[in-house]
Amino acid sequence: MTETQWQFFTDFRRDFKEQCHQWNEAFAAELEPLQKAAASKDTPEYAVETGVVYNHALDEVTKDTDIKLIVIGDNPGKDEQLLCNQRYLVGQAGKIAAGFFSRNPELAIDFRKNTIILNKTPVHTAKTAHLRYLLKNGCSEITHLIQESQLWMAQKTAQLHQVLCSAPGSGGKNASDKNASSNEIKDGAGWAGCQLWLVGYAELKGRGLFLEYRNQLAKSYGIELTGEGQVDSAPQGFLPQWNQVMVFQHFSMNRFTIDLAEKLHEGKINSQLPLQEQLAVLGAFHRQEIFGC
């Protein structure tokens, strides 16, 4: 990272850790019984150890870490909230994700070393759908927490991505430089600067749980969405880093790779393209579906 990128990341990390601490201090006592009750009908009993989960894997990032992706999951599950973990995507979905990159060395990405993993909200539930139970049965403060945490994560993550989109080594040009060619940007960082992947988009549309996150994320790049999730306005000056935002199905149940295989079979993606470009086409396809642009 450049000095500017590193300083911004360390500020983000500090603020994120402190924000999770504050939310835990304020809401852990109210969250725990709700989180247990939400899981009681379809999840084996487990200990709720962390109500709002900070990703401690961020503490291992150094200035020399080569960050190529920001991956955004849904919210911390059973494994992620354990005191012995407190890390994101360490369950089965995370293992599938790590396996995908290890099987495709041409992408030159180590999922645990070259990726910043965040969530749409750090509020834990055993299953993402259980957030609906918290919204329905929790007090107004819990509802506000889930909404506020989405807005906070979307805005702060977008800001981090925009800074990390710069491409050191490309002659000072970066993803926000309109005079930089795509090849110059790719050559500078090996992965078009830094892409942001939203994985798991079912709850980003319709009456989904993460509409606040979706709308705030788009707004942070200069794009205003209507209530139906379609573009209301995208000023000519909207941030070009938006082109590095990709949307995919989740890694869980191998939906990510199944989706890619299906689009290749249907001819919606050219099978002759390198895998990196196939993923770019797929990510842009779903971005259009979710954001309308």
Res. 174: pLDDT tops 50:
no
Mean pLDDT over 202-216 rounds to: 95
Q: Which residues contact 54 (CB under 8 A, 6 or more apart)?
A: 16, 17, 20, 21, 86, 122
Query: Which of 9-13, 110-114, 132-136, 234-238 is predicted least confidently?
Result: 234-238
Extended beta strands in 93-193, E state: 115-119
Please write the tens of the pLDDT for every residue from 219-271. Answer: 999 988 866 556 555 555 567 899 999 999 999 999 999 999 999 999 999 99
Please write the tens of the pLDDT for every residue from 120-171. Answer: 999 999 999 999 999 999 999 999 999 999 999 999 999 999 999 875 533 3
Query: Phi and psi (nearest 5°) for 168?
Result: -55, 140
Mean pLDDT over 54-58 rounds to: 98
pLDDT of residue 181: 36
Res. 185: pLDDT tops 60:
no
pLDDT of residue 233: 57
pLDDT of residue 105: 96
Asked if residues 260 and 199 have their Cβ atoms less than 8 Å apart, the reply is: no
pLDDT of residue 167: 55
Res. 190: pLDDT tops 60:
no
pLDDT of residue 278: 97
Bridge-partner residues for 35, per DSSP?
none
Query: Phi and psi (nearest 5°) for 18?
Result: -65, -40
pLDDT of residue 239: 78
The beta-carbon contacts of 257-264 under 8 Å, at least 24 apart in sequence, are: 257/100
Per the prediction, the chain carries an average pLDDT of: 89
Q: Is 171 exposed, middle or buried (0-12, 13-18, 19+ CB in 10 A)?
A: exposed
First-to-last C-alpha distance (Å) of the chain:
29
Taking each helix axis from N to C end, the angle separating 92-103 and 255-265, rounded to the nearest 10 degrees, works out to 50
Please write the tens of the pLDDT for every residue from 61-109. Answer: 999 999 999 999 999 999 999 999 999 999 999 999 999 999 999 999 9
Asked if residues 213 and 203 have their Cβ atoms less than 8 Å apart, the reply is: no
Res. 180: pLDDT tops 80:
no
Distance CA 261, CA 249 (A): 12
